[in-house]
Amino acid sequence: MKLTSLFSRATLLSVLITLLAFNSAHAQIPTDSIVADFNEFVRLMEETHPDPYTNYGGRVFFRKAVMDTRKSLIDDKVTDANELAKRINAFLVPLHDGHTWMQIPDNSNMMTKKAAPIRFQAINDGVIVEAILSDYKGLIGSKLIAIENIPVKEICDGLAQHYPSENNIGRLSNICQDRGFMVDLGKVIPNMPQDSLSYQLLTPEGKHINLTLPLVGLMQIRGMSFSRPEHSNLFPSKNLAYSFVGEKKDIMYFYSQSIMDHDALKYMYDNGWDYEWSLQRAYRSMVGDDMPADPVEAIDKIPSFSGEFEKMLQEMKKNKTKNLIIDLRHNDGGFTPITIATLYQMWGDQYLKDQSNWGAIGAQLISPLYLKKYNTTLEDFNAERHTNYQLGDYAFEDDEMVQGEITEDVRNSFISNCMSSVKDKLMAQKGKPVYTPEHIYVLTDPGTFSAGFHYAFFLSKMGATVVGVPCMQAPNTYMEVTQFELPRTKLNGSFSNALQLFLPIDDPRAKDFYPDLMPTYEDFKRYNFDDNAIPMYLMDYIKNQK
C-alpha cells in the first residue's frame, strides 16, 4: 500500500509549540472575535476533515454541538484565547480522533499545576505503577484499583468525556499521561481533595493497600527521588539500531523509536516543509553528537530506514538467522512511506501481490489546507498524479496500489515511487526478497501510534506475529496531521485529512488492535516489571518454541 506522508501527533505538537504566539493568551480579545475564530475553525474543519459528522451522530448533531459551543462562548463572554482552545478541544472529544486537536498556547501555568508523585502504565489487564517516590520502591508494578475509592475504569471512562481517545487502551492510557494532574482528575472525582490523593493499590504480593500521596507542584516533583522499574540492557535502544540477541545469532533485534530517517527529512527539506524540530529529534536519537548548523550536512549524517534495514537483512542472510524482532514500542510515528521499501526487501514481489488484496480503504480529502501542507497547488497536484481532482474530492489509496500481474514495468514503477535512498539495491532485487526471516515478531504498546502503528499493521498483514499491548491508534480511524492557524487569536492546531478503514467494521480488532501474544500481569511480574519485560517475554517464547 502506498501511503502519503504522515506526521505523528507528538511530532506536530512539538513543532507547533515553536510557532505559538504565547502573548496572545494573555491579551483580552473581544468576544465577537473569539466567536468569529470559532466559526472559522468550524469552517476549516468541515472543509478539511474527511468525516466530521459521523461520530457526532450525523450532520444535524454536529451542527447542534457547534451551536451549543458558540452559545457558551457568547453567554460566558469569553475573551481569552486559552479558554477558546480548551472549549474547542472539549468540542472535539466526540470525534475520537487522535490527530485532530487545538494547541493550548499558554503553558506558563504548567509549573503551578499540582500532581501526586506517582506515574502509571497501561498493560493488557489493567494499570500498574511505573514510577513512584523511592520510599515506596516496593510498590513498583502494583495494580491501580481506585483513586479516592473511585474504580480506575470509572475514572478512565470519565476522562474520556473530556479528552479524546480512539479505543479502550487509549482510555486506560489517559490516566497514565498528564491526566494525573489535579486539574484533570478534578473533572471526574467529586469533591476533589486539594492537598493529597488516596490511591488503592494491589501489590505484586497480592496485598491491598491504601496509599495517600501529597499533591505537589511540578518543580517540587522534579526534585524528588523516584524509583522506576529495572531496565535490562539486552536489546539495542538507539533509533534504527540492530543487533543479534540470541545465543547463536538466531534472533535479530531491530529498534525503531520513530518512523523518521534521512529520506523523509530530505523530502521535507526539498519540498519546503517545516523540518527543523523533526531534524533535531532525529539527529539526537540516531547520531547523538552536536548537530551541524547546515541542515543538509545534518540530514546527510542521519541513516536511511531502508538502508539500515537492508544491511540488517544481509547480516541475517549471512548467518541464516531465523527470527527477527522489530520493536515499535513508544514509536509515535513520522513518515509511513519510508517503511514500504522494507516490506519489499523482505518479501519482494509477494508483498506487491498481497497488499492489493488486504481490503484496506484509505482516502485523503483534497482541501486548501491539504494542498498547503504539501506546498503545492491543485493544478500541480493533478499534473504530478495524472488526475483531475477538484477541491472536496477524495483521493483513494487503492487507486495507487499495485494491481494485476507484477511485470518489470510495474515493479520498477513501484520502486521509483518508494521513499528510499537505496533504490538501486531495490532494483537489483528483481522481485526477489533480500532475505525473508522464518519468523517475524513486532512489539507494540499504547505508544505505538500513527505511522508506527501503520508499520506494525502492515507487517502483521504479511504474517508477522504482533506481541505486547494494543496501540492507542485504532485501525479504523482518521489519520494525518494538517496544520492550521486561526486569524484573530493565532491559535494553532491540526485536523486529520484522511480516513483509514483497515479492517471490516465488525472486526473485533477494528478499534483495538489486539496483539497475537499478550503478556499478562503475571508475565510482567515474572520479569520484575522491567522496561523490557515484553521482549524478555518474547525471547522466552521463542526459546520454548524450539
pLDDT in tens, 268-303: 999 888 889 899 999 999 998 899 999 999 999 999
Phi, psi of 128 (to 5 degrees): -125, 160
Same domain for 137 and 86: no
User: What does the pLDDT read at residue 246?
Assistant: 76
Residue whose cell numbers read 483534497? 366
For residue 396, give every residue at least 6 positions away whose Cβ sits within 8 Å of its Cβ, in sequence order, or none. Answer: 361, 362, 363
- Domain span at residue 151? 110-227
Is the pLDDT at 2 greater than 80? The verdict is no
User: What does the pLDDT read at residue 24?
Assistant: 44
> Could you read off the pLDDT of 62-96 as tens digits, one per residue?
999 999 999 999 999 999 999 999 999 999 999 99
Same domain for 162 and 121: yes
CATH of the domain at 197: 2.30.42.10
* Cα dihedral 57/485/475/337 (nearest 10): 150
Query: Rounded to the nearest 5 degrees, what angle is found at the Cα of 149, between the Cα atoms of 122 and 117?
Result: 55
Band (pLDDT 50/70/90 cuts) for residue 400 is low
Phi, psi of 334 (to 5 degrees): 150, -115
Cβ-based neighbour number of residue 173 at 10 Å: 25
| Residue 90 domain flag | yes
Cβ-based neighbour number of residue 485 at 10 Å: 17
Q: In the structure grid, which three cell numbers stand for residue 482, read together?
A: 494538517
Of 501, 503, 499, nearest in space to 370 by CA: 499
Among 194, 227, 260, the domain boundary falls at: 227
In the chain, count of helices (H) and strands (E)? 21, 21
Q: Say how far apart CA 5 and CA 261 lie, in whole Å.
A: 12
| Residue 257 domain flag | no
Pairing of strands 196-202, 150-151: unpaired
| Residue 424 domain flag | no
> Could you read off the pLDDT of 356-369 as tens digits, one per residue?
888 889 999 999 99
Q: Say how far apart CA 273 and CA 267 lie, in whole Å.
A: 8
Same domain for 218 and 75: no
Domain total for the chain? 2
Is the pLDDT at 26 greater than 90? The verdict is no
Query: Measuring CA to CA, how many Å separate 156 from each of 58, 144, 159, 185?
Result: 26, 12, 5, 10
User: What does the pLDDT read at residue 186?
Assistant: 87
| Residue 60 domain flag | yes
